[in-house]
Amino acid sequence: MKRLVINLDRSPERLAHMTAEFARINIGFQRVAGIDSKQYPDLALQPQHAIHAIRPLSGSEIACLHSHRACWTIIAQDDAPYGAVFEDDMVFSGKAGALLSNTSWVPADADVVKLETFFSRTVIQRRRSAAGNGFSVVRLRKGHPGAGGYLLSRQTARDFLEATAQINIAVDDLIFDPILSASKTVYQLVPALCAQDQFVADRLPSLLDQERDAARTASGLMTRRRKPTTVRITREAGRTIRWIADFCRFRRQIVVPLDPIEATD
């Protein structure tokens, strides 16, 4: 299985970080040069999926998609049934090497396995399958943002390439939005194998978040307004109803934890 790391040419410090991370878990990786929006200022003019009609993707977000597409191309052409994709600000569990060295633990029907956690609440199926080394894989039943670390099948890589050949869409929406990925069997690794450094040590801020927030600030979209009381009450009632529905369907809400960074016996 190839382990691919997206890295911009202008970010050598992030490549050094990932080199140290993979050395720490005793496996290798292949660098994939990321597409830099600063070199392609017209990216935001490319066609976008209808879900981005209200808030169009920035050039940086489209560049991110094209960077992931470069990884999907490698996986689609490889002999291995699965490949793993990582962005260059990830921090790994101390036990990550054991799972990333082979794919014997991956469910036979898996199209995608999300390896990271974004520390946001999501919904998973209660039934689990052991993945070894204290990890389990469970069906992901709700969106879980972030595309910093995931595994996908060779056929799924080909499908994603076809789906984005003429239209741009946010990477994590394409992979993990339950509506857009309805035709795919998507799993979550629990606990997670990795997380962005900004959530762990806060040494490497997300470049995409920085550029996205700058664009929103310039357009005035960062201004937040307190929602009316009736709206907030309705939202809380909706959450309660969804919790009951999930319970009846043998699902549960969870904030996916990160496996300890330091290896333990």
At 17, which CATH number?
Answer: 3.90.550
Tell me the C-alpha distance between 126 and 260, whole Å. Answer: 23
What residues form DSSP beta bridges with 136? 130, 190
Q: Compute the distance between CA of residue 226 and CA of residue 231 in angstroms, rounded to an integer.
A: 10
Does residue 262 fall inside a structural domain?
Answer: no
Residue 195 lies in a domain: yes
- At 106, phi and psi to the nearest 5? -75, 130
Question: Is position 50 within any domain?
Answer: yes
Say what the pLDDT of residue 234 is: 47
In degrees and rounded to multiples of 5, residue 7 shows phi and psi of: -150, 125
**pLDDT tens-digit profile of 99-133?**
999 999 999 999 999 999 999 999 999 999 999 99
Q: How many domains does the chain have?
A: 1
Contact call for residues 27 and 100 (beta carbons, < 8 A): yes
Q: Within a domain: residue 74?
A: yes
pLDDT on residue 198: 93
pLDDT digits (tens, 9 = 90+) for 10-31: 999 999 999 999 999 999 999 9
Measure the CA–CA gap between 263 and 120, rounded to whole angstroms: 24
Q: Provide the 8-state DSSP code for 140.
A: B
pLDDT of residue 251: 83
260 assigned to some structural domain: no
Is 154 within a domain? yes
pLDDT confidence of residue 214: 54
In a domain, 235, yes or no: yes
225 compared with 37, residue with greater pLDDT: 37
Phi-psi region of 24 (alpha: psi -120 to 50; beta: other; left: phi over 0): alpha
pTM of the predicted protein model? 0.84
Task: Kindly report, residue by residue over 161-213, the tens digit of the pLDDT.
Answer: 999 999 999 999 999 999 999 999 999 999 999 999 999 988 887 766 666 55
Is 137:188 a contact under the CB 8 Å cutoff? yes
- State which residues form the domain around 70: 2-255
Percent of the chain with pLDDT over 90: 78
Q: What percent helix, strand, coil does the chain show, rounded to 5?
A: 35, 25, 40
Is 142 contained in some domain?
yes
